[in-house]
Structure formats: structure tokens, C-alpha cells
Structure 1
Amino acid sequence: MSSPPQRMIRRDAEAQIRSLALGFPAVAVIGPRQSGKTTLVRSVFPHLPYVLLEDPDTRAFAEEDPRSFLIHYEKTGAILDEVQRVPELFSYLQGVLDANQRPGQFILTGSQNFLMMERISQSLAGRVGIVKLLPLSMGELARAGLEAERYEDLLYAGLFPRPYSSAVHPRDFYSSYIQTYIERDLRLLKQVQNLSAFQTFMKMCAYRSGQVVNYSSLAHDCGITHNTAKEWLSLLETSMLIVLVRPHHKNFNKRLVRMPKLYFTDPGLAAHLAGVQGTDDLIYHPLRGGLFESLIIAEFLKFRLNRGKESNLYFWRDKLGHEIDCIIEYMGWDPIPVEIKSGRTPSPDFFNEIAYWNELSGNAPDRSFVVYGGDRSQRRAAGHLVGYRDLEPIIRYLE
């Protein structure tokens, strides 16, 4: 059976990329491998020559004679894909951009964000507009006619574009993805010598999706040191495979938890690392709540990043165990509390923590939200009940 034709899914980040290309001589689109960076920039800039620096011959030319390599594109500009593979180019590119201030000359992409950002800050600071691209959002899928029937489908299949634009099964995609990341990307980093231990570490992180990080417990379970656990978690965060949501500072005279919460930016990756075998496994799986929370947190984060903004997401938890899953900092106003529940049937208990927060903070119910696994959004006395497909009432606070 032949594969279906590749489907182009329009990305929300397109408008921000076009805007930056009108003001900066270069634009960098960074994000996890396979998040759709190349497809996006080639669709936005079809007139620019496309240069893949993972191609051995092209990379050799750029490494051996970077000045002559760039001369080919001084007049036309170019898309330089996986540009971090040739670090020497950044210094020479600085000279080209300074000599010709024309906006939108070079579009740079990279999946090894730790290397990309280091090179940009060293050589191209002030010359490059930056967009961080995560996998697809639920809204992007829905507009493409690919909306999932159940959220468990999203938790298992994830939101990377490839399984939606081709015939590849999510199981095969993630198996290849994990091996590529570990065996290819991490080999370029001196911090990881034991790749097998790192794969175990990723699995242990997946089991902790939606939980407050306990570095000592994580290190113990993986047979590594406390400092190594911190370092490796930082690598996953810089790779944009996870996000560490920091605790909010408001304490209301209560002692607060100081460690961050761990979320995967794609729930499908976490599900496959944790050994989930199919969508139906997730109906009663102990990880379902954490993966659902990851899905919603990632949706909020994508909205910000697609518009060129950094995260404004936090969580709040005191030593008594009271917790708000997500606190949104909103333009200097009082923060917005959001609870996240995977249950499909609304329950008054959903609002217990919201009520506790509002009593402490003086926040109003009309600025309080519970996202749940059902479809019906309702206005309740304690706050807004929001179906997971209908996040618009919350999105306005992410602007």
C-alpha cells in the first residue's frame, strides 16, 4: 500500500517568523528535532535557496572554506538548515550580515538548541530574531481536519508532525526518535558519556511527568549522582523535550515547595518512554493525569512561543500539600490560577484548590479556571470549567 501524500499543516508561528524577517537580517527557528522547522521555513520562504548542512558534501565545503561557501548566497540569501553542524559559519555570517543589512537574508534552523543559542549569543547577538518551535498544537491539528476523537489519542500519538503527515505509526516514529536523539544528538555533547544510562534517565523522567522534581530520588533510581541528574535534566530542557515549570513566589505566609515541576513538551514522547503500548492503555494508566497535564501546559507554552514570547507559566504548592497546577503571570495583574483535571465528568471537587487559592489571594472566580477532560465548558460559582478543546477563555491571559 502506498503512503498518503504529505499534508502541509499551517503553523501558528508563521506570522511571527514573517514579522521578524522584516526587521532582522537573519531569523533563527529552533526547536526539538522533527518539530516541523524545515517544512515551515521552506513554505514561508520558497524563494530562498535551501541548504542542508547535514549533507556530508555541503558540510565539508562549509567547514573547509566558510567564506567561499557564504559568497554563493550573499546576493540571494538562503535557508541554512541544521546550521549548528558547522560552528565556523557563525563568525563569517556575522560579517556578511553586517556588510548587508537587508532584512530576511538568512533563515537558520537547528535542533540542537544548546549549540545554536551558544553560537548565536557569541557571534550574532542583535542580528537574529529567534522563534522557538514546539510540535503541533491542538488548534493546528483541528484546523487541518486532524482533530483527535479522544485526548488519549493525543497522549499516545503525541503532536509531532510526522505521524500526521505520513503513514508512519507513532510507535515506530518514537522508537526512531529516541534512538536518533540519544545516539546522534547527544554524541556531540561531552556531558553525556554513558548513553545507556541517559536513556534510563529519560524513562525515569517520563514516569515523573507532572510531578515536582526530586533530584535525589531521580538520581537514585538511575544510579547517577545528584549533580549529574541536574545536568542531564538541564540538557533535556535546553533540547526543548521537557519544560521545568518553576514555583510561583507568592507564599501568603506559607512555606512553599521550591523545586520545579517536570513536563514533557510532547506527551507522546513521554508515553513511549514509559512503555505505553496503545491508546487504550491510557484509559486507566497511572500516568494519564500527568500526561494530560503535560498536554495542557504544552498548549499554553506553544501559544507563547509561537508569538515570540517566553513562558509566563508557574505553579504554586505549599508545604501543606495545597497546589495550583498552573499560575499565569498576566501583564502585572494578579496571577491567574488554572487547575488541570483529566476526568471527563465534572465534579465540585475540581474547584477545591481554586477556592483555597482565591480565599488566600482575594482572586475572583471569574479569573479562575479548571481545564478538564470533557467537552462542555461551563460557568460555575467557583470559576470557569473549561473543556480541553476549548482553551480560548484562558488563552487571552497568555497574550
Structure 2
Amino acid sequence: MSKSYLKRSIETELERLAKLYPVVVVTGPRQSGKTTLCKKIFSNYHYANLEDIALREQILMSPKAFLSQHTQGILLDEAQLVPEIFSYIQVIVDEIPNAHFALTGSSNFTLIEQVTQSLAGRSATLSLLPLSLHEIENSTGISTNRLILNGGFPAIWAKGIPTQDHSRNYYNTYIERDVRQLLKVKDLLKFQLFIRLCAGRIGTEFNATALANEVGVSAHTIIEWFSILEASYILFRLPPFFRNLGKRLVKSPKFYFSDTGLACFLLNIDSEEHLETHPLRGALFENMVVLEFLKHRYNRGHFSNLYFYRDKSQREIDLVQEFGNELHAYEIKSAISFHKDFFKHLVYLKELLGNDLVSMQVIYDGEHNTHSKDFGVINFRNIKFK
């Protein structure tokens, strides 16, 4: 299996923004397809890979002179590696109305910091995550376990690289190298334990103290490590839903991995058969579904509007989506058979929120799909995104 380019849902939004802003920025995890996407959309731009040390040194000798040669369009790959360049981009954009820049970066914290400081009002930013189910060719004919096990990195689906090989190399090259360098991690074994413990807690609330006790570091260190993994698009958080916006920021979020294939690798799940009987299969299925909602938002240039709900009695709704005053609630079940108990907490939430909760759906792995005025049961492959 080999296919040179997989069409991405984000293309339309990227092309639209490139007509409106002199600078467009595409962030996302390493190997999510940022460079391939931008090379296709901006095929007439000069390409500069800033991971090339010699090129970086050349640019730093005279940044403005280098950029001025390519004002008709330049694609700067991994732009955060040369933070000095952003102020020069600002100057050129202000001086030359028709200048165009496309930037990519895999360190959200570093890149966004530079963009907000130097390019505010001059740039638009999109986040590209690994492939969604819609972007995977013939995904309807692929087993659920294989979809979870493979994850969404394009190299697996376009080039046929075995998922275990890809995940191992991804972990060794990008997580251990990049993240450790960024954090200056001294004890590799403790960091390895931390990220594997995170994989074992997919879909649970983030508890820095509990993780600190197990890893043998301070809670402050755990928070720092988690923040870097989030900024590097390894993990993402799902905040709790409260009417009070302040509580959303204070209360502990749940967290998931940005790729289920990587999570499976960290859990030592190496086959569909192993995954089928694994105690975390339900959590990994939930992770995959929540990711689909997040990818849909990002691919259209929107921020996340996703939350989970849990009350003091531990009644929980896996996913709540907010559109102004309208709320949509989803229970996510890995079962292939439907049970009416799946609606139990949705009914409770409806009683609590009243007319603000306009739809309730159970998303599961079964084939039966049904809809009524308020309730729906749907296979995860048939989600109708809002």
C-alpha cells in the first residue's frame, strides 16, 4: 500500500485563510502531514526546512535579506527553531503588502508565543492532527480494532509502515529526543514511566499528585511534563462542563492521546487480538471518538467546544458539545450491542439542563442506528458532526 498524498479536510480552510492573511501558520504533532499539506497548497512557494542546521546558520547571518528574496511566497518548515525570524517577517509584511509566508511547527508553545508576539493581526493559525476516519481511504471496511491500533499518522496509511515500527520510531525520535531536550529531563526512566502511566489513564481526570507519587517526582514536575506533552500535541485535555466558566478552568480536566496508535504502543498492545481483550479497549475507543470531534473542529478552523460532565455523585457524560446556549451530549460505548441503560445519564442531564440540551446520542460500535426527537443511537463511523 502506497499513496503519495492523502487529501486533508483542512485544505479548504487553509486556502481560504491564505487569501485573507499574509502569514498562515499550521501547527500540529510531528508527522501529522503539515509539510506535505503545505507543499501541496503552496506548491509555488520557496521551501526552507529550518531543521537544516546549515540553512539556519545562513538565515541567521542576514534574516531580512534571506526573507526578502522570497516575498512572493516562502514556506518555513519548523519555524519555531529560528525564533529570531518572526520579527523580520513582521517588518517585511508591513513593508510589502503582497508578501506571503506559510509557517509550520510542531511545538505549539514556542511557535504560538512567537506568532502572538510578532505577528498578531497579520496571521491565521490552524492545527493539523493525524488523519480522521473520513480521511482514511476505505475506512468503513477496516475493523474497529485496526483503526484504534493504527491511529492516524499518514505514513501508516499512505506508505504502509507497520504501526509498531512507526510508533517505536516516533517515540524514540520525537518524544524522547524533542521533549526530553525541551524539559531537560535528567532521569529518562522516570519520564518513560510517566508517559506510560498517562497511557494507562486515558479518559481519566488529570491528577498530578497521584502521578507524582507513582513516578517519584514532585507534582510540579508532573504538571510541567504534562504541559510540554500537551504543547507538543502528544496529549490533549477535555475540560469539565460547568455553567460557571471559571470552574471550567479550575476543575481537573480529563485527558486523551492525540493518536490512539501511539497510546497502544505505550500500553504494549501489538495486535487486534490483544486489543480486543485489553481492559483499556473501552477507553481507547472513547479516545478515538473524542478525537474525531476534535479533528472536525480543527479542520474547520474552530477552537474546541468539547467538554465532559461529571457531578458529585459521579454521574458522567463522556462528551458535551457547546454551541452558544445549545448543548449536545454524547455517551460513548465500545459495545456492539445496544442497552437502554446507555441513556441513563443522558436522561438525568436532560432533566438538569432542560431545553438547553437539544440532542442526546449514544455513539457505539454496533450496527443499529436509530433517531427520535431527542435521542439517537449511532455507529461511530456515522457521526453527523455539527
TM-score, normalising length: structure 2: 0.94
Q: Where does structure 2 lack aligned partners over 5 or more consecutive residues?
A: 245-249
The amino acid of 1:53's aligned partner reads: L
Distance change (3 Å), C-alpha of 1:342 and 1:190: closer
- Given the alignment, which residue of 76, 90, 95 partners 1:94? 90
Distance change (3 Å), C-alpha of 1:62 and 1:148: farther
Spell out the pairing of 1:51-70 with structure 2 (5 A cutoff): 51-70=48-67
Spell out, residue by residue over 1:2-42, the C-alpha distance to the aligned partner (whole angstroms, 9 max, x if none).
Answer: xx543311111111111110111010000000000011011
Distance change (3 Å), C-alpha of 1:195 and 1:125: farther
- 1:339 partner SS: strand
Stretch deviating more after TM superposition (306-315 or 324-333) = 324-333
Q: Could you say which residue in structure 2 is the equivalent of 1:120?
A: 115
Alpha-carbon RMSD across the aligned residues, in angstroms, is 1.9
- Maintained 8 Å contact 1:158/1:266: yes
Q: Matched residues in 2 for 1:380 and 1:289: separation?
A: 26
How many residues are paired up? 381
Q: Matched residues in 2 for 1:15 and 1:93: separation?
A: 25
Q: Could you say which residue in structure 2 is the equivalent of 1:77?
A: 73
Q: Could you say which residue in structure 2 is the equivalent of 1:214?
A: 207
Q: Could you say which residue in structure 2 is the equivalent of 1:258?
A: 251
Does residue 39 (structure 1) correspond to residue 31 (structure 2)? The answer is no
Q: Could you say which residue in structure 1 is the equivalent of 2:125?
A: 130
Q: Matched residues in 1 for 2:174 and 2:193: separation?
A: 14
Q: Could you say which residue in structure 2 is the equivalent of 1:110?
A: 105
- 1:58 partner SS: helix
Q: Could you say which residue in structure 2 is the equivalent of 1:254?
A: none
Q: Could you say which residue in structure 2 is the equivalent of 1:246?
A: 239
Q: Matched residues in 2 for 1:250 and 1:244: separation?
A: 18
Does residue 332 (structure 1) correspond to residue 328 (structure 2)? The answer is no
Q: Could you say which residue in structure 2 is the equivalent of 1:367?
A: 359
Identity score, percent: 39
Q: Matched residues in 1 for 2:132 and 2:180: separation?
A: 30
Q: Matched residues in 2 for 1:228 and 1:300: separation?
A: 30
Spell out the pairing of 1:123-272 with structure 2 (5 A cutoff): 123-141=118-136, 144-147=137-140, 149-190=142-183, 192-250=185-243, 258-272=251-265
- Given the alignment, which residue of 268, 271, 274 partners 1:275? 268
Q: Where does structure 1 lack aligned partners over 5 or more consecutive residues?
A: 252-256
Q: Matched residues in 1 for 2:357 and 2:26: separation?
A: 39
- Given the alignment, which residue of 263, 275, 299 partners 2:292? 299
- 1:374 partner SS: coil
TM-score, normalising length: structure 1: 0.91
Distance change (3 Å), C-alpha of 1:267 and 1:106: same
Spell out, residue by residue over 1:54-81, the C-alpha distance to the aligned partner (whole angstroms, 9 max, x if none).
Answer: 122212211232122212212x321111
Deviation, structure 1 residue 364: 8.4
- Maintained 8 Å contact 2:269/2:275: yes
The amino acid of 1:85's aligned partner reads: L
Q: Matched residues in 1 for 2:374 and 2:276: separation?
A: 28
Spell out, residue by residue over 1:232-279, the C-alpha distance to the aligned partner (whole angstroms, 9 max, x if none).
Answer: 11111111221111111149xxxxx93111111211111111111212
